[in-house]
Amino acid sequence: MLNVKLGTIVFPILIAAVGCASESAPSPGEASDVLQHEQAFVPISRTLSRDLSVRANALSGLGTQAVPSANAKESFYLAINKKELNRRYFLSAYMKQAYPGSVGAGAAASLGTRVVTFREQNGKLFVFDAQDGRASSDTFDPALIIEAYPVVDHYSPFLGLAGHDDYVLFDPAAGLNRFGVVSDLYAHGDLSSIYGAGSQPLHFQVDLSYLQNFRRINDGSTFEQVFTGAVNEPVPENQAAPSNPANPFTASGTLGIALRRYSEGEGFTLFDANSTSQEYYFRADPLLEKNTGGTLSRATKWNIRPGMKPIKWVISEQFVEVGRQNPKYDIVGAIKAGIENWNAVFGFKAFEAQIATAQDSYADDDKNYFIYDGDPTYSYAFANWRLNPNTGEIRGASVYFNAIWLQAAIDEFDPQASSAARTSKPQTRAPVSRITWAGLRGTPLCTLFAPNAGASHDDLERSSTHARAVNGVQQVEQFITHVAVHEVGHTLGLRHNFKGSLLPLPQQSSVMEYILDPDAVEANRNLPGPYDYDAIRLLYGLQTNEPSQPFCTDEATELDPACATFDRTEDPLAKFYGSGYNARLNLILRNQDPTGAYFNSINRRYLNGTAAYLRAGTAADQGRAWSELDKLLALGRDHTADNAQYPGYTDRLSDFQNYVLNRLFLDPAHLRGDITKDPSLTGTTLTTLTTTLQGVITNSDTYRGWNTRRTAVDVLKKLQAQPAYQALLNARATLANATLPPGSTEAALRDDLVARIDSATHPYFK
């Protein structure tokens, strides 16, 4: 096995495997006229060396079927027609397989597309970047080399073919092979101390590489490159994996490569991404506008227009088998609806979906593929695409769908059908690394985690959902369609709209929102909403007005408390966060949370969601947020009856108030949710808060513990505001005048608290 560890971290990278059936490369001596049909690329069979065959067999022994044939270890060279040397091509790369790590290491994702030309020179076939927008002026127009493949001379099987003088034979497996590894581990995690923070890929040195599965398509060819190798940076001996101390990053993979003639869709129209007031759409990489110092930014979109031939999506045939195993549900129909429900937005048939054949592969550059993965440990869904980098035209797309979505839907909405054998949730794993190739790296448009990845809702959230007319079977199907329609919406060019849920339940304005799982099966949650209609129709030239519905996207979640994921209603502060916080807190104070589920739910969603309005809301929202947070914790209430009915009630009240004050002002940023800054309070909210904290310090209602009182001092110090300073002085005076038995524990703790105030106020302002 190639599972490798650095310290306690398992570092997944890549592995090889084959996929679809394809047109085989001709064997030497066969089809002597193969070079006389004016094909752009022709595979010329070669036999792997004995050494390569042995190592290819070793890969095959991992159970990956990594070799082209069970009997003969044959790969191939490629011959390019010399007429093609000056023509532009799309060069696309797709990470088909990865081992170890699978999807978590970057499999099932497009790495990107380049526009290239070819030139034979000095015994190499050079691949040049021919993309528009590289020249800054007429003077400075760089020639960028992407790859350099060795030209194969004196290969007798090729020289024996008629027409060989019209072709250049080269070895794509022996190019620069500029693979790299980039990972959050390197940028932010435990490895940053070794390699330094940043996002530059580590060099992945290829050891073994060969080609397989050549396939000719109408505008070019595709093939796969199997490779294995290692990251070549040295690792400190005490950090290396015991099983492989010299280099712990040995791994392998299969890269799908496509070479297709450059073209732009007939009738395709560019969309200036700077022409809208909001960032509704994904952008292609900017292009330089020669001699102007400016850049051109284009929104990404398909060539969808009235009168077009529908774009075909293929749905993995594995969904059919999953449907046989779960005959209650129309799983294929649910996925198909998620794709084709977008047709109503256009008013004509833009997409059509059908089951994939055995000859289709999700790595095929000419397929739009809905992928199924039966391994539930990669508990997310994501979309990615292949673009024309010159125009932003989407040339193809895929969606990755994990098995856990179906199981989670059954567990949630049709629990009587849930498998009795499932005694625990599968261990979930998040993406940890990405593979780059020739400067291309994959960037998923969206990574949507499944419910089982983190217990995304509790019983109170389920019970607060509106009654539904549909049964459990329909809910399972609608949930799957909701996930599909969201991801396909990304492939159409739409970014998230995290204000798509700001309507009274069960309404929505957009499926491009992250919503609670119980809400996903509400009426119309699997259909594009009014915002989606307006945004799509603007992007595709079917209307000229921008969407009028509320909108925000990913970057605003750190600034705008109303731009939040997994919220509800037209007033989330009061009707979702505040009400949810207080409903759960009431049970916690009454000691009716034996499993800690409601505390975890508050900590995960409701406390931080309410606090976000205190941190970044309007003055009015700040007042409302504090009112919600303090409603059950407020000073001045008589809790005698509560203590009698729920012993320890006021102890829990004080402890939770301490918890809230720490979360609002003192906890580290990573605990605070999306909006992390300290609240900046003024006016009535500042006065109310400081008055409350003064009463906490003096224990005016006798229910506040010493830890909470000390925290209140620290918060007033951190506020750095005159009312807070005055509250500290007032509290000190009250404490100093209190009569306590000399030498008692209470007197000692009071003196310690007074000293804390003195330290906070001498000086107070920094």
Query: Is 176 part of a structural domain of the chain?
Result: yes
Whether residue 488 contacts residue 338, with contact meaning beta carbons closer than 8 Å, is answered with yes
Are 414 and 527 contained in the same domain?
yes
Query: Is 173 part of a structural domain of the chain?
Result: yes
How far is residue 470's CA from residue 411's CA, in Å, rounded to a whole number?
16
Whether residue 75 contacts residue 46, with contact meaning beta carbons closer than 8 Å, is answered with yes
Give residue 462's pLDDT.
66
Token pair of 279 as six digits: 């960032």
Domain total for the chain? 3
Are 523 and 597 contained in the same domain?
no
Are 225 and 362 contained in the same domain?
no
Query: Is 191 part of a structural domain of the chain?
Result: yes
Are 95 and 160 contained in the same domain?
yes
Are 327 and 221 contained in the same domain?
no
Are 231 and 367 contained in the same domain?
no
Residue where a domain stops, chosen among 504, 537, 558 = 558
Q: What is the pLDDT of residues 500-517, one digit of tens each?
A: 999 998 899 999 999 998
What's the CA angle centered on 667, arms 662 and 669, to 5 degrees?
Answer: 145
Whether residue 79 contacts residue 168, with contact meaning beta carbons closer than 8 Å, is answered with yes
Arithmetic mean of pLDDT, 14-20: 34
Query: Is 214 part of a structural domain of the chain?
Result: yes
Query: Is 451 part of a structural domain of the chain?
Result: no
Q: Which helix (H) or strand (E) holds 77?
A: strand 74-81
Whether residue 89 contacts residue 98, with contact meaning beta carbons closer than 8 Å, is answered with no
In 420-522, alpha helices (H): 459-463, 472-491
Query: Is 303 part of a structural domain of the chain?
Result: no
Look at 283-297, 536-550, 608-622 and tell me which has the smallest mean pLDDT.
283-297
Give residue 734's pLDDT.
97
Q: What is the pLDDT of residues 189-223, one digit of tens each?
A: 333 333 333 456 777 888 888 899 999 999 999 99
| Residue 381: pLDDT over 70 | yes
Largest CA distance in the chain: 110
Q: Which helix (H) or strand (E) holds 98?
A: strand 89-99
| 373 Cβ contact list (under 8 Å, min separation 6) | 103, 108, 400, 401, 402, 403
pLDDT band at 105 (very low <50, low <70, confident <90, very high): confident
Task: Output the domain CATH number for residue 388.
Answer: 3.40.390.10
Q: What is the pLDDT of residues 242-288, one digit of tens each?
A: 344 444 567 788 999 999 999 999 999 999 999 999 999 999 999 99
Q: What is the pLDDT of residues 700-743, one digit of tens each?
A: 999 999 999 999 999 999 999 999 999 999 999 999 999 889 88
Are 605 and 688 contained in the same domain?
yes
- Taking the complete model, does pTM exceed 0.85, yes or no? yes
Give residue 9's pLDDT.
27
How far is residue 487's CA from residue 315's CA, in Å, rounded to a whole number?
14
Q: What is the pLDDT of residues 408-439, one digit of tens each?
A: 899 889 888 765 444 445 555 655 566 778 77
| Residue 580: pLDDT over 80 | yes
Q: Which helix (H) or strand (E) holds 609?
A: helix 607-616
Give residue 181's pLDDT.
67
**Of all residues in the chain, what percent carry a pLDDT higher than 90?**
68
pLDDT band at 588 (very low <50, low <70, confident <90, very high): very high
Residue where a domain stops, chosen among 535, 558, 581 = 558
Are 609 and 666 contained in the same domain?
yes
pLDDT band at 50 (very low <50, low <70, confident <90, very high): low
Q: What is the pLDDT of residues 515-544, one digit of tens each?
A: 998 899 988 899 999 999 999 999 999 999
Q: Which helix (H) or strand (E) holds 149?
A: strand 144-150
| Type of residue found at 668 | P
How far is residue 336's CA from residue 310's CA, in Å, rounded to a whole number?
14
Cis amide prior to 506 (ω within 30 degrees): yes
Q: Which residues pair with 90 in a beta bridge?
A: 115, 260
β 446-449/220-231 pair status: unpaired
DSSP for 286-325 reads PEEETTTTEEE-BB-B----TTPPPEEEEE-THHHHHHHH
Are 405 and 485 contained in the same domain?
yes
Q: What is the pLDDT of residues 635-675, one digit of tens each?
A: 999 999 999 999 999 999 999 999 999 999 999 999 999 99
Give residue 263's pLDDT.
96
Give residue 456's pLDDT.
55
Q: Work out the mean pLDDT of the chain and round it to a whole number.
A: 86
How far is residue 109's CA from residue 94's CA, in Å, rounded to a whole number?
6
Look at 21-30, 477-486, 735-744 and tell me which has the smallest mean pLDDT.
21-30
Query: Is 282 part of a structural domain of the chain?
Result: no
Are 551 and 613 contained in the same domain?
no
Give residue 722's pLDDT.
97
Query: Is 291 part of a structural domain of the chain?
Result: no
Give residue 476's pLDDT.
94
Domain that holds residue 134: 5-261
Are 12 and 84 contained in the same domain?
yes
Are 509 and 632 contained in the same domain?
no
